[in-house]
Amino acid sequence: MTADALDPICTRDAWLAADQARVWERAEVISVDRSRPVPEPRTSEPRTSEPRTSEPRTSGSRVPEPRVPRSGVPGSEVLADERKLGTAILRLRLPNVPDALPGQYYLVRLPVDSPPGVAEQAYSVCSSPYPSTPEIEVAVREVPHGRVSTVLARRTRPGDVLEVRGPFGFLTWTERDRGPIGLVGAGTGVAPLAAIIRYGAARGLEIPMTLLCSSRDRSDVLLGTELDAFHHRFNWFTLVHTFTRAPYDPSVRYHRRIDTGMLADVFMAAPPARRPNSYYVAGPADMVTAVRAMLGTLGVTDDRIYSEDHS
């Protein structure tokens, strides 16, 4: 089943069963945009990166680094990457059109020269599964001393081969889930939410969506140019920024971390036709936990909140 032939009886239980059958596939890098090189990681910053599991890190004695296999292996291809402030958007070509829902993620595995011989990490898909295509985009934010993210963000190039497995995850939304919906994201937590927004645009939907996006500053917003364009183009989509490290930026209303008052202003004070029935939250674990709790104090029941930790 693909996203343009959605089965109305498909449930998250069905996707859980399908998860068990996922196999590793191979991908080759076709082109790389290095016009905006990745700077050295800011080690003093909190980690707001990949979902689900902690990435292996180096400590103590030197740990062999993962290797990116080079060309010559058939399978999926990495078409391009867009590098911005320690974040890479990798475009991959899979061997087949995936059975995917907007908001899911893939595991990426790289070989290492020490037991168990591989290092793997999960990365969210930020592209829409509609229209059906074997190409996907995944968001990678470099983690200081991270063994997988450093390789992907800095060393991938055209012709490289990646092993990927997926899609996985239940932070998903389609028109069957109805709306309006509220989206709250920070860091690469914006990636799965962007997939949902892009899906809505690709399908020509007009279900109201509001994204509250927390970033250090405007340059740090994942897919910021596209999201801003969507905000001005589509009446059904509202984008609200809050910048935590740009207190004098006049282009945004909020200059602090997400709090209860901000959630109430953005979502609860919205016109009734735009007031969310459900919420999708993704980002660092402490942010996700705090937002869930704050939504609870505003009267949102737990069964209306879907979340994913990117830590």
Question: pLDDT at position 145, please?
Answer: 79
Question: pLDDT at position 156, please?
Answer: 85
Q: What is the DSSP letter of 179?
A: S
Tens of pLDDT, residue by residue, the chain (311 residues): 344 444 433 445 554 555 555 677 776 554 443 333 434 433 333 333 344 443 433 333 344 556 666 554 445 677 777 766 578 889 999 988 999 999 999 999 988 777 888 889 999 999 999 999 999 999 888 888 788 888 888 888 777 889 999 999 999 999 999 999 999 999 999 999 999 999 999 999 999 999 999 999 999 999 999 999 999 999 999 999 999 999 999 999 999 999 999 999 999 999 999 999 999 999 999 999 999 999 999 999 999 999 999 87
- The sign of the torsion formed by the CA atoms of 191, 193, 195, 197 equals negative
Question: pLDDT at position 65, please?
Answer: 59
Residue 171, classed as helix, strand or coil, is: coil
- Alpha-carbon gap, residue 115 to 85, rounded angstroms: 32
pTM of the model: 0.81
CB 102 within 8 A of CB 3: yes
Question: pLDDT at position 61, please?
Answer: 38
**Nearest partner of 230 among 213, 217, 247, 250, judged by Cα:** 213
**Dihedrals phi, psi of 308, to nearest 5 degrees:** -145, 130
Q: What is the dihedral of CA 32, 36, 40, 41, to 10 degrees?
A: -80
Question: pLDDT at position 47, please?
Answer: 31
Q: Which two tokens stand for residue 21?
A: 């059958």
CA angle 282, 288, 292 (to 5 degrees): 115
Assign residue 223 a region: left if phi > 0, alpha if psi is -120 to 50, beta otherwise?
A: left
Question: pLDDT at position 58, please?
Answer: 36
Q: Give all strands of the β-sheet with 76-84 in edge-to-edge order.
A: 118-124, 105-111, 161-168, 24-29, 76-84, 87-93, 135-141
- Alpha-carbon gap, residue 187 to 214, rounded angstroms: 7
What lies within 8 Å, CB to CB, of 93 at 6+ separation is: 27, 28, 30, 76, 77, 78, 79, 134, 135
What CATH number belongs to 175-309? 3.40.50.80
CATH topology of domain 3-167: Elongation Factor Tu (Ef-tu); domain 3 (2.40.30)
C-alpha distances (whole Å) from 194 to each of 8, 14, 75, 214 are 23, 24, 26, 13
What's the distance, CA 16 to chain centroid?
Answer: 20
Assign residue 147 a region: left if phi > 0, alpha if psi is -120 to 50, beta otherwise?
A: alpha
- Alpha-carbon gap, residue 29 to 156, rounded angstroms: 7
Q: What is the DSSP letter of 303?
A: G
**Nearest partner of 288 among 311, 265, 268, judged by Cα:** 311
**Dihedrals phi, psi of 105, to nearest 5 degrees:** -135, 165
Domain ranges of the chain: 3-167, 175-309
Question: pLDDT at position 87, please?
Answer: 83
